Amino acid sequence: MSTKPASGAIRVMAVAAGVVVANNYYNQPLLNDMARDLGVSGVAASWISSLTQIGYALGLLLLLPLADRMDRRRLITVMLLLASAMLFLFALSPSYQFVLAFGFLIGLTSIVPQILPPAAQQLVPPAAAPEAVGRIMAGLLLGIVLSRFVGGWLGNMFGWRALYGGAAVVMLVLVVLLRRVLPPFQTTFHGGYLSLMGSLGRLFLAHSVLRGLAFAGAMQFAAFSLFWTTLAFHLAAMPGHYPASVAGSFALIGAVGVLGAGLVARLSRRSSVRFTLMVSGLLMLVAFPVFLLAEDSLWWMVPAVLLLDLGMQMSHVTSMATILSLDRAAASRLNTLYMFIRFLGGALGTLVGGFAWWHGGWLGVCLCGLGFCMLALVVNMRRYVAGTATAS
């Protein structure tokens, strides 16, 4: 593929990564509205977000490895069609039980953003591969934070069912666009599915760096998800009784954090992995004491959200780059393991956030978030200070 068509394809892929990953996060600023509409408690509503993330984690584990075994363009098409169907059924769900089931299936089928980076590497010359993958990751990260803005504002204006119905249509549009810009891809793994899955266990046991970074990433994503899951409840309980649109607006601050993380990532190439992970971990740790100051005031929420998102994105990009460099021939499967463990942490944080809010209020939420961040920082400090991993 020539450079110009490849550049256009990368742009479409970056947009697709952000749009599809948003399926997993639209519900977070709308949980209070969904709880009221479905007649359930806030704790019960938090399960909607938690099961969506569990479904995404299982999709990464069980379906993402297929990207090495079949034509990636065909797999992308199938997954987008399935995601569209699940979003549509979610919008039509008549009860809480159906919302839970289809929320889980939305997560399971919305794995296209993790299929795209290895595909991008095959579309451009080797020297341009890092930049191409970086653009797709930037689109993915912006999709995560801006999905809360879109979910909060459009959900508040049109209702959460209309939002998910619109998302289903967008998936069909992406099918057409991606099939136009992507060529067929050659497979890189020729064994059976059981052999493919068996290799995951061997890779996990072989790389202690993977295990440590994945666990630390899971704890950080738990803290991140805990905050965003409970933000709508906290804002609704404040004296101003702020709607979901205000919760979504804070995502714009998170977008600044993503852009800042990209700048810091370029600067950190001159520093060690250890330094970047320590700084990013400390940023997240400091965010939660600042969140405590926002119990009755929105103003303290702004710097705290910026610190949280900047730290999380810095850590995520650095960890992923380190893990993918461990074995380039198995990059997709290493990515599967890292993302699966990380999203299990996100699901845990969502669930803990619901319980912390209803049993401990905003103080309970902030203390739990602080605990997750401290645990992640301790894991990274033990690994890198002790010299058990190289800062490459």
- Whether 144 maps to a domain, the answer reads yes
- Whether 295 maps to a domain, the answer reads yes
Q: Residue range 170-193: average pLDDT?
A: 89
pLDDT at 75: 94
**315-367 confidence digits (pLDDT tens):** 887 787 788 778 766 777 888 899 889 988 988 998 898 889 989 999 999 99
How many whole angstroms separate alpha carbon 26 and alpha carbon 24?
6
- Whether 392 maps to a domain, the answer reads no
Q: Which domain holds residue 280?
A: 3-385
CB environment 352-389: b (16+ within 10 A), e (fewer) = bbbebbbeeebebbbebbbbbbbbbbebbeebbeeeeb
**120-178 confidence digits (pLDDT tens):** 877 877 667 666 776 787 788 788 878 877 887 888 788 899 999 999 999 999 999 99
Question: How many domains, in total, are found in the chain?
Answer: 1
How many whole angstroms separate alpha carbon 174 and alpha carbon 12?
9
- Whether 60 maps to a domain, the answer reads yes
Task: With cut-offs at 50, 70 and 90, classify the pLDDT of residue 28.
Answer: confident
- Whether 322 maps to a domain, the answer reads yes
Residue 246: pLDDT above 80? no
| Stated length of the chain | 392
How many whole angstroms separate alpha carbon 127 and alpha carbon 357?
48
- H or E, element range at 84: helix 72-91
Q: Residue range 177-200: average pLDDT?
A: 87
Q: Residue range 37-53: average pLDDT?
A: 87
Q: Which residues contact 363 (CB under 8 A, 6 or more apart)?
A: 292, 295
Residue 261: pLDDT above 80? no
Q: Which residue has the tokens 């296209």?
A: 112
* DSSP letter, residue 188: S
Q: Read off the CATH number of the domain in which 33 is found.
A: 1.20.1250.20
Pure H helices in 238-300: 244-267, 273-292
**87-131 confidence digits (pLDDT tens):** 999 999 999 999 999 999 999 999 999 988 878 877 877 667 666
pLDDT at 290: 94
Angle at 64 between CA 383 and CA 336, to 5 degrees: 5
